[in-house]
């Protein structure tokens, strides 16, 4: 029985495919903004239990009202306080975007 060239070429093709797949995936992961760079500096918020406690405290201390400042707009306020504009408008039906006055209180929840 004669040995065909496919017997030697097939394993080489498999190895070449594996190397190509690795290169494509590693390049794609480097370009993906959702991945974490292992060489990146740690954030100022830290990690572990303390960071989780800080995040939990921030969520608990979410303000119920917002005091309008000079130059504020409803969309700017919504972005600042991380509340959807539609929700802000529903909670404050008397809100007139043209007549926002500094010191005016807006409901956020």
C-alpha distance across the termini of the chain, in Å:
82
pLDDT tens digit sequence for 63-105: 789 999 999 998 999 999 999 999 998 999 988 888 889 999 9
Q: Is the pLDDT of residue 32 over 60?
A: no
Question: Rounded CA gap, 73 and 34, in Å?
Answer: 32
**Is the model's pLDDT at 46 over the cut of 80?**
no
As a whole number of angstroms, the distance between CA 66 and CA 105 comes to 6
pTM: predicted TM-score of the whole model, two decimal places: 0.43
């Amino acid at each position: 029985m004669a040995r065909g060239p496919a017997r030697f070429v097939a394993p080489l093709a498999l190895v070449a495919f594996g190397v190509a797949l690795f290169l494509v995936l590693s390049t794609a992961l480097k370009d993906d903004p959702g991945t974490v760079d292992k060489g990146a500096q740690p954030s100022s918020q830290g990690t572990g239990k303390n960071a989780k406690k800080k995040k939990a405290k921030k969520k608990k201390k979410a303000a119920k009202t917002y005091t309008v400042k000079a130059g504020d707009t409803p969309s700017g306020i919504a972005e600042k306080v991380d509340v959807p504009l539609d929700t802000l408008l529903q909670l404050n039906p008397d809100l007139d975007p043209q007549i926002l006055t500094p010191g005016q209180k807006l409901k956020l929840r």
